[in-house]
Amino acid sequence: MTGNPVTLDRRLNAYRPDLADARLAGRVEASHFVEGEGGTVAVPVADLRPRPDLAAGIDTQLLFGEPLRVFERRDGWAWVQAETDGYVGYMAAAELASPAHQVTFWVTQPRTFVYPEPDMKRPRGQALSMGSRINVVGEAETRGTRYLTLADGGSVIAAHCGSIGASTGDDYVAIAARLLETPYLWGGKSAFGIDCSGLVQLSMMMAGKTAPRDSDMQAAGLGEKIGFDELRRGDLVFWKGHVAIMEDKATMIHANGHTMSVAREGLKAAVERIGYLYGAPTICRRP
């Protein structure tokens, strides 16, 4: 998509990315519209920015193997839309790859390594986050440890991966708990660094559920509205610009700037602490 200038809400069609592409006509200022080409993320984590400038803060991130549509490449940047949630922005063009074969596996542990061959004693290569999609072409075993072999020749620990969409038996709250102590990162969406709404989205995705990327979008339409006195495990509590996951009716898990990590916190204490700066919770929802 080209134009001067190009402007749009980077969250456009978050629930319906299939209605994006050329159907953005009338919603975006541009000289003309194109369908775009398919691509995937070729690095462990790619930052998505509001403009093609390394000094610009990140809006969100894309994970290894995540599918996207590429609308424009220019001056080392690509203007793309994530197929998983419809988010749009600029990323480094060098972090893109052409679409791989059908991807059926993803990383289910918070983090894992890619080895040059199926042997954990070999020097590790890339580190991949939970939710990264991998192109598996075979299996191997070394000293009793099973590996998945990848199309590019690398290998990952098989126990760290699973079939995309297959149930792990965990609810999304249990998945969020596995990310405790992950560093807080504004715009982060990976197990290397994550923000409050990224924690909700990634945890729900790994549990087979869909959530929009930003907390205001989650507060506006994720599940059903409930009363503060109805809270139970799995419910979401929202403040202006923040969201937390209830682990039970009295304890929540959230990525937050207070501890600068994913942490557990008592709901009562959090309401008092957050209220001092940002006011009371604005809404509670049950996904």
**Tens-place pLDDT, residues 38-50:** 999 999 999 999 9
Left (φ > 0), alpha (ψ -120 to 50) or beta: where does 25 sit?
beta
Task: Quote the DSSP letter at residue 54.
Answer: T
What is the reported pLDDT for 179?
98
- Which domains does the chain carry? 17-97 (2.30.30.40), 105-163 (2.30.30), 172-286 (3.90.1720.10)
User: Which strands form 133-134's sheet, in the order they lie side by side?
Assistant: 133-134, 105-107, 161-163
H-only helix segments in the chain: 172-177, 196-206, 215-221, 267-278
Assigned token pair, 129: 């986050």
pLDDT in tens, 131-188: 999 999 999 999 999 999 999 899 999 999 999 988 777 899 999 999 999 999 999 9
pLDDT in tens, 58-95: 999 999 999 999 999 999 999 999 999 999 999 999 99
Q: Which residues contact 249 (CB under 8 A, 6 or more apart)?
A: 231, 232, 233, 267
Does the pLDDT of residue 101 top 60, yes or no?
A: yes
Q: Which residues contact 246 (CB under 8 A, 6 or more apart)?
A: 173, 231, 232, 233, 234, 235, 236, 237, 252, 267
Kind and range of the H or E run holding 190:
strand 189-190
